[in-house]
Amino acid sequence: MPHIPDVLPYFNPVDLQEIRGDDRIIRRLYDQTLIHRSGQHNLPLSNTGIVLFGTGIPEAANRIREYLYGLSGFLHDHEMADLGNLRSGKNAEDTLIGLTDVVAALGKAQKTIIVIGADSNHILPVFHGIEQLEFPVNLTVADSHIDLMPETHYLNSRYLNGLVSDPETRLFDYVHLGYQTYLNDPQAFERLDQFYFDHYRLGALRDDIREAEPVFRNTDLFAFSLNALRASEAPATTDPSPNGFTAEESCQLTRYAGLSDKLNLIMITGYDHRNDLSGQTAALTAQMIWHFIQGYLQRKKDYPFCDINKYQKYLVNLPKTGHSLTFYKSPATNRWWVEVPFPPSKHPRSLYIACSYNDYQLASDGEIPDRWWKNYQRIN
């Protein structure tokens, strides 16, 4: 069993004024969660799979907790722990270093992490924490805006320019979900394409939200900005827009994230508690987290936790392109993967990326799926 670090000194205890929910719910998440309370100096995490904590403004995280802990519980006791809210350091930089240290420690202990109350400025220190697990990191972001800027406007970027320009970065792949074209500079798309990063327009995902599911099977870190939601669904965000994902779609996305055997951390950003007079946005955020937890409990230990060579294998020859694609299908879950070969001069092995049945159908019709092509270009 991996070492469980003592991270409790980094946190202030949970201080809830009330728990909001239906009194007809007998078993609540609150009753099943191991919570850091005032005067407590130890929190046994050895049997805990999920660890939640707040960062940024404590009132924002606590507002979300009020609604989260009133929801129906389905966990085994102490399967989730709530560490509280991250303490402020001597200055802002010290606080962000503490955030990196906590994420790295929990990641090395093989905990699945939920971060609430954050903003987009926290993505970079959280990424650096996951980076310390010493494997290539795949980052997925859901947001109406794309943070990748041309070099001449580098300072306008909050996190992504810093990641792609760092020569020592472990960022391998980045996927952007739910951008709204009219809210982004055209050069942002050119920069994404330059790095062979996938990006999915809001309308495309709303046509078939299931195409996002394979993205999460390739993801280590998922940052969901509430600014990706339409304002009528989540009015209290830092940058509200009349268009965006619906409440149901946001819960579907976080459930997909929870189902991913690969995903280590989800963070919810963009919540403005000061404008959440009705509590609607906090309630929706709580339900998104609930669906993530539900997905986590339904993980199937698919690849990479089992031998992909035991899956059903499908070979597709594309003579017009000069490529042959090898697909794999799990007989247990009917999920699909596709093999992307490394150049022999780099590695005598292959990369296996999650894909959809639509990708297999596309290849069968003689076309190379974008997922395969961008990964192939990135490693060649």
Task: Confirm if 209 and 355 have CB atoms less than 8 A apart.
Answer: no
CA-to-CA separations, 184 to 130, 162, 245, 288, in angstroms, rounded: 28, 19, 17, 26
What sign for the dihedral angle of Cα 23, 28, 29, 30? positive
**Cα separation of 96 and 257, whole Å?**
25
Give the rounded distance of the alpha carbon of 323 from its chain centre.
32
Tell me the β-bridge partners of 271: 237
**What one-character DSSP code corresponds to residue 275?**
G
CA-to-CA separations, 119 to 116, 164, 239, in angstroms, rounded: 9, 20, 11
| Ordered structural domains, the chain, with CATH | 8-297 (3.40.800.10), 308-379 (no CATH)
For tokens 């980045």, name the residue.
174
What sign for the dihedral angle of Cα 102, 222, 329, 252? positive
pTM of the shown model: 0.95
Task: Confirm if 164 and 148 have CB atoms less than 8 A apart.
Answer: yes
**Tens-binned pLDDT, residue by residue, of the chain (380 aa):** 465 668 999 999 999 989 999 989 999 999 999 999 988 888 888 889 999 999 999 999 999 999 999 999 987 777 899 999 999 999 999 999 999 999 999 999 999 999 999 999 999 999 999 999 989 999 999 999 999 877 767 667 778 888 888 888 999 999 999 999 999 999 899 999 999 999 999 999 999 999 999 999 999 999 999 999 999 999 999 999 999 999 999 999 999 999 999 999 999 999 999 999 999 999 999 999 999 999 999 999 999 889 998 999 999 999 888 889 999 999 999 999 999 998 876 666 789 999 999 999 999 999 999 999 999 999 88
Q: Residue 125, Cβ neighbours under 10 Å: how many?
A: 21
Beta strands in 208-346 (DSSP E): 221-225, 265-269, 312-318, 323-329, 336-341
**Cα separation of 34 and 52, whole Å?**
10
What sign for the dihedral angle of Cα 178, 184, 190, 194? negative
